[in-house]
């Protein structure tokens, strides 16, 4: 049997655990998984671990319209450098936002020919586009994102509770992703260089109440819902109880909520600002417990960059978003290793479960028939974050100077090493 690529590792992370294996690739797919010693051809990774390519389902690429914030070339190159081989792009902050078929085609055209990893697209649900949702879904978006609070950009409006119900009923089979904060629980952030003042403006109650709103809407409509970037650990029992009661709900968190803590945010350090906010140390540990218990399903970046000028000012006025595509794997692995978790846990959180939730059956696992998206990873090597070595367009990061554990040595996309050629393809939702 001849193959296009064979990669051998004594530590291959497979769906049923870690073992020595040889992954054999033909025509971009995994054709066989052989015992490590049975394959004499191909590349031996030595002490490197072989992981499946990660799947990041929460990425703001911002192109077209705000390409000066980020773009497909820069975002996907950063993703590949971080071991991510599939991203699903959010419907904002591009202009136009992906709220109808014409806008989707515009975004697909922008991504064509410059993506280093595979790219799918979410649609957006806004107050005025309910009738456009079925056609947009038929055109291949993976589901729909909506906000329950102002999104931060004028062209992407937010839904109230009644609007959420109408959107869920418009496309009963679709997955709806919800930015869950309750506007009545938010307070206007005062002009301040102190992080505590910003944190107090977005209390846990805002997330907790909004998650309850999402649960009740899903219960009424039977829809499938997903809570985005959960930062309040107090909301985890709400998700857990809803799931036990038959509500089709999943939830994600992000590397910044699992790594950073409010007590350590310096004054004026607006690179730490995101919405919902980074909370206290005890909350971080409760998020880790929820992740380990399966109450939180996955970890994705919420990569949301902007030009440096928009990050200046105080915590009230600076843009709220953290860019971390390239750093997500070492960030999560650094914290996971410290707490005694294994690489197969990280793969479940950052590859397998995001792929399952989005509906990407050939992604997120090293399995026969799957896409040969692979990562050679050195889990015991460390590095210091140097913003100058980050590939996303504007290297503004709260992680500058931080020492992280785990180094990506090589990334393959459908069996081809990712180098200076943008070989990514555009993905469509597959019928379940």
Residue 54 has pLDDT above 80, yes or no: yes
- Per-residue confidence (pLDDT) for residue 39, from 0 to 100: 66
Mean pLDDT of 86-93: 98
- Per-residue confidence (pLDDT) for residue 76, from 0 to 100: 98
SS3 180: coil
Q: Which of 115, 67, 58, 117 is nearest to 90 (CA)?
A: 58
Residue 386 has pLDDT above 70, yes or no: yes
**Is the alpha carbon torsion for 133, 135, 138, 142 positive or negative?**
negative
Q: What CA–CA distance (Å, rounded) separates 192 from 28?
A: 52
pLDDT in tens, 318-345: 999 999 999 999 999 999 999 999 999 9
**Is the alpha carbon torsion for 363, 364, 368, 374 positive or negative?**
positive
Pairing of strands 49-52, 54-59: unpaired
Q: Assign a CATH topology to domain 53-362+394-403.
A: TIM Barrel (3.20.20)
- Per-residue confidence (pLDDT) for residue 432, from 0 to 100: 54
Neighbours of 322 (CB within 10 A): 24
Residue 203, C-beta contacts closer than 8 angstroms, at least 6 positions apart: 185, 187
pLDDT in tens, 194-227: 999 999 999 999 999 999 999 999 999 999 999 9
Q: What CA–CA distance (Å, rounded) separates 122 from 56?
A: 12
- Per-residue confidence (pLDDT) for residue 51, from 0 to 100: 98
Mean pLDDT of 234-245: 98
pLDDT in tens, 102-152: 999 999 999 999 999 999 999 999 999 999 999 999 999 999 999 999 999
Name the one residue in this structure whose structure tokens are 């993703």: 79
pLDDT in tens, 289-303: 999 999 999 999 999
Torsion-angle region of residue 275: left (phi > 0), alpha (psi -120 to 50) or beta? beta
Across the chain, mean pLDDT equals 97
Q: Are 299 and 349 in contact (CB under 8 A)?
A: yes
Strand order in the sheet with 144-147: 123-124, 144-147, 175-179, 224-227, 248-253, 298-299
How far does the chain reach from its first CA to its final CA, in angstroms?
32
18-23: Cβ within 8 A, 24+ apart: 18/49, 18/342, 18/343, 18/344, 21/50, 23/50, 23/366, 23/372, 23/374
Residue 245 tokens read as: 């009661």
Residue 52: phi, psi to the nearest 5? -70, 150
Residue 66 tokens read as: 């705000």
SS3 378: strand
- pTM value is 0.98
């Amino acid at each position: 049997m001849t193959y296009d690529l064979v990669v051998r590792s004594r530590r291959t992370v497979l769906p049923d655990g870690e073992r020595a294996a040889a992954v054999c690739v033909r025509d971009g797919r995994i054709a066989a998984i052989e015992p490590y010693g049975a394959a004499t051809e191909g590349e031996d990774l030595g002490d490197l671990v072989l992981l499946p390519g990660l799947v990041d389902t929460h990425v703001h690429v911002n192109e077209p319209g705000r390409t000066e914030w980020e773009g497909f070339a820069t975002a996907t190159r950063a993703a590949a450098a971080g071991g991510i081989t599939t991203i699903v792009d959010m419907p904002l902050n591009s202009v136009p936002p992906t709220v109808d078929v014409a806008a989707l085609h515009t975004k697909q055209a922008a991504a064509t020919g410059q993506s280093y990893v595979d790219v799918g697209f979410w649609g957006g649900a806004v107050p005025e586009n309910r009738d456009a949702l079925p056609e947009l879904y038929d055109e291949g978006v993976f589901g729909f994102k909506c906000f329950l609070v102002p999104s931060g950009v004028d062209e992407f409006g937010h839904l109230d509770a009644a609007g959420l119900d109408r959107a869920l009923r418009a496309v009963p089979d679709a997955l709806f992703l919800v930015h869950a904060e309750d506007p009545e629980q938010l307070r206007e952030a005062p002009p301040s260089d102190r992080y505590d003042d910003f944190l107090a403006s977005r209390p846990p109650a805002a997330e907790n109440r909004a998650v309850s709103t999402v649960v009740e809407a899903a219960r009424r409509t039977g829809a499938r819902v997903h809570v985005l970037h959960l930062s309040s650990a107090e909301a985890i029992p709400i998700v857990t109880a809803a799931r036990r009661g038959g509500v089709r709900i999943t939830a994600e968190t992000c590397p910044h909520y699992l790594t950073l803590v409010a007590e350590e945010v310096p004054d004026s350090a607006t690179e730490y600002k995101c919405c919902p906010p980074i909370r206290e140390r005890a909350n971080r540990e409760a998020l880790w417990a929820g992740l380990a218990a399966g109450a939180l399903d996955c970890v994705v970046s919420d990569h949301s960059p902007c030009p440096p000028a928009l990050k200046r000012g105080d915590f009230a006025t600076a843009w709220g978003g953290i860019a971390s595509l390239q750093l997500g794997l070492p960030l999560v692995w650094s914290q996971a290793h410290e707490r005694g978790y294994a690489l197969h846990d990280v793969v479940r959180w950052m590859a397998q479960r995001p792929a399952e939730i989005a509906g990407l059956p050939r992604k997120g696992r090293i399995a026969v028939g799957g896409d040969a998206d692979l990562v050679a990873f050195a889990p015991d090597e460390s590095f210091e974050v140097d913003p100058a070595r980050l590939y996303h367009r504007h290297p503004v990061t709260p992680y500058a100077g931080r020492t992280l554990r785990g180094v990506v040595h090589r990334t393959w996309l459908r069996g081809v090493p990712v180098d200076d050629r943008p070989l990514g393809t555009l993905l469509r939702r597959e019928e379940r």
